[in-house]
Amino acid sequence: MKTAIVTGAAGGLGLELCRALVLRGYRVAMFSRDAAQLEIEATTLRAKGQVIALPGDVTDTARVREAVEHVEATWGPIDLAIANAGIRNATWAEDFPLGWAKRLMETNYFGMLHLFDAVIPRMLDRNQGCFVGIASLAGIRCLPGGSGYGASKAAMQAFLDTVRLELGPRGIQVVTINPWFIRTPAKDDGVPRPMMVEVDWAANTIVSGIEAGKKQIEFPLLPSLGWKLLRLFPNSAFAWLFGHRHGRSSIGLKILMLAGKLGRPSSNHRLFRRSDES
């Protein structure tokens, strides 16, 4: 039986990843800063398999290391580590929120590194294991208001793409996950999200891709291909499409808002609003 640890596991994608793994026969260690909700969800999942609830914050290096040590002392080697914990918040250049920019990097990027630092030496000892980072298509091209979030996800992508070259020959699989919009139970913030996918579908797509040995998983197909194509646009063309218009929606955002009416109507053009870590 394989053992997995998932951060940000008390809700949203993290919780669904835990559920998908348990149903596939994994022993799952759930890590989250929301201790109360974590225990509720872990109790439910224990009816389906072996689950450990580990409260803690991914920004706390020592706590992440303690959690990993506890899992391996209880169940043995960790086969799969998924750095899912993350937060979002707008970081507009005007009145730039430096504190939030730092917090985004500390949680999204350094939170991933803390898990990496805790599990990789143990995987190297065995020449076996899998490390997964939940990044985002926002790390490829990001829209106005998302500079801090996009930078944290781009940093994750760069790190994972590089360590994959170093760890692959040692038998360790490194996977980058770049999702588009995922529907979760979070409060509706009025953001247009065309072609959203359901969170259970996203979780199963990710786990299936990991088990198939993929190195990069992006979904759904059409938005991911479109967004990667935008990366090739000259800066002037991208600015023409998505440049901030002093309170008025850019051409590109108007297109997204129009498409978004198919699923979630909105008049709010700011695509980056706070969404707490699960």
Please tell me which residue, 271 or 158, carries the higher pLDDT value. Answer: 158
Mean pLDDT within 13-42: 98
C-alpha dihedral, 7 to 220 to 202 to 274, nearest 10°: 50
pLDDT tens digits, residue range 172-191? 999 999 998 787 765 544 44
pLDDT of residue 92: 87
pLDDT of residue 94: 87
pLDDT grade for 277, boundaries at 50, 70 and 90: very low
Query: Which element (helix H / strand E) includes 172?
Result: strand 172-179
CB atoms within 10 A of CB 125: 10
Burial 252-269 (b: 16+ CB within 10 A, else e): bbeebbeebeeebebeeb
pLDDT grade for 276, boundaries at 50, 70 and 90: very low
CB 149 within 8 A of CB 91: yes
Domains of the chain: 3-260 (3.40.50.720)
Its pTM stands at 0.85
- Partnered with residue 133 across adjacent β-strands are 83, 176
